[in-house]
A and B are shown apart, each in its own frame.
Chain A
Amino acid sequence: MSKLKAVFAKQKAFIPFVVANDPDFEGTVNNVVALAEGGADIVEIGIPFSDPVADGPVIQAADIRALKADPDLPMDTIFDIVAEIRKQTDVPLAFLTYLNIVFQYGYEAFTARCAELGVNGLVIPDMPYEEHDELAPIAEKNGVDLIPLITPVSADRIEKIAKAATGFIYVVSSLGVTGERSEFANDLGDLITRIRKVTDVPTAIGFGIHTAEQAAEMTQLADGAIVGSACVNIVAEYGAQAPAKLKDYTQQMKAAISANPVG
């Protein structure tokens, strides 16, 4: 079974996100290890991109920081970051990346390297269902899950996307781009019910979640909560002190969602 899917069988999952190379190589390693130590069930690592169209200002700024020192930051350096992380933790990992980065590295080489390093899934915001055939068979062969996104306006697309999903399904909380929010779409419950009718692949809600209350509320509906901008803000604000803060934050979030029963 998919390593990512298995995570959700045991608990409601907390899935924090940071951007690779923000602020630098060492900092990323330390931050991801701290998230794992704090109890993160999966850590999502964003690969910085020059033009992150699905991301709001906070993650855009992190991408700029990550590429500032070296706009040509090679993908191999990011794989090296993961290799370093792997020396310290076996927490399940997923990449969030725009498709061009994977395309340039080569679909086969990229997913093979992910498999070697135990990067178990890829979230690719600019690869919708209709375009996933060019990558899906290769990723599957290498045992890497392609995590699809389903949004409040996916409507009659929900079933076909859900049926093809492996690992978990990323449920987008509301319209727009990533970033902290105070409100979410009010029909997320129905959306998740529709997903559950066609698949047992777990769901995690992301986009906008930053408080423990929100995470608790969202994991009453879904099997996990993904938190991006809030973690990236901690990295931006605390620099070298970020690992301790991220660990604290993860513990709080994890405690808040653990109150919800699994399933």
Chain B
Amino acid sequence: MKRWWLLLVLFSGALLADDCALRGTGDLAIVIERADGAVQIVETTHNTAIARVEGLGDLSHASVVYSRDGRYAYVFGRDGGLSKVDLLCARVEKRVIQSGNSIGGAISQDGRLIAVSNYTPGGVKVFDADSLELLADIPATWGNGLRSKVIGLVDAPGRRFVFSLWDAGEIWVADMQDPRHPRITRFRDIGRNPYDGLITPDGRYYIAGLFGEDGMAQLDLWHPERGVRRILDHYGRGEKKLPVYKMPHLEGWAVAGDRAFVPAVGLHAVLVIDLRDWRELARIPVHGQPVFVEARPDGREVWVNFAFPNNEKVQIIDVETLKVTHTLEPGKGVLHMEFEPRGEEVWISVRDRDRVQVYDTATHRLLRELPARKPSGIFMAARAHRIGL
């Protein structure tokens, strides 16, 4: 009943408001302007800014997921704010402050649920995607009544969410068949301080990177009964690690053929995993400690950006030779890179220069620069149709 009423209001609102665009959203993207609590809506066909939406709170470390119709962006802010932004009308449709300090979110396979992972109080909250009504609260309790910070939250097939507990060193799978009564499966002792997690594009493997020890924790969601297994547990052993000034991110899965590329923690290196046996195949020396390691959608190249104090460059790895073939210098504070869905262009945010840049990925030439205030994450609406994003 309530939903009908809501739809009606939305619909008539859209008809009445003449500032709402009549267009598709498949080529739209959101650029987070993190200091201002605002987002820009840009279109990636002609590479222009369309609109700016303000009032989204503290957007440091903000991330975005999209409704399956591509119309709404759910923006997760640091201050616990969850905002539903209408891309066509360029306005905040709804907004709730759901915790004190949050870190990211996910949308369920069927698009009906939004999950948010929180630092304080540590746990996951699940909301109705239409109304943002709270459906379930999953406190990340461990030890003696402690609450753990939650990171690496993703959606998985079968209406599940998977996430990791930074303090507890656990992976949890929440089955949301009944959204008000999630069924939790806990995997303990997966390793110290998981810092982020990803799910492979087919939704089969969940992988958490470990900060507190070497290697990564891998869970096969086809066979959760086999438990969590350690992969890459030899990298870094006996080596002197550098101080880590920024946590790396695992977002999506940089896969080319049967190789995957991941950031090494505390090393100036990208690790190459052989997906046939999940072993380290090679280690590619790069300019700094990698933050994002992203495959161009055709899998021919892998692009890497770096942690402070090496965050002025982007390097491009050729996946056949496993060597760095190009180094770009966008400027200080390169925070994020996002490929257009078919990969012909890539968007890069350059925080300290207050710009986002668009590069041609065939020539590696800068095509365009758009002003943006302290830009961080860039999120294409095409994420709407991908598992784990």
Do the two shown chains form a genuine complex with each other?
no
A: residues with CB less than 8 A from B are: none
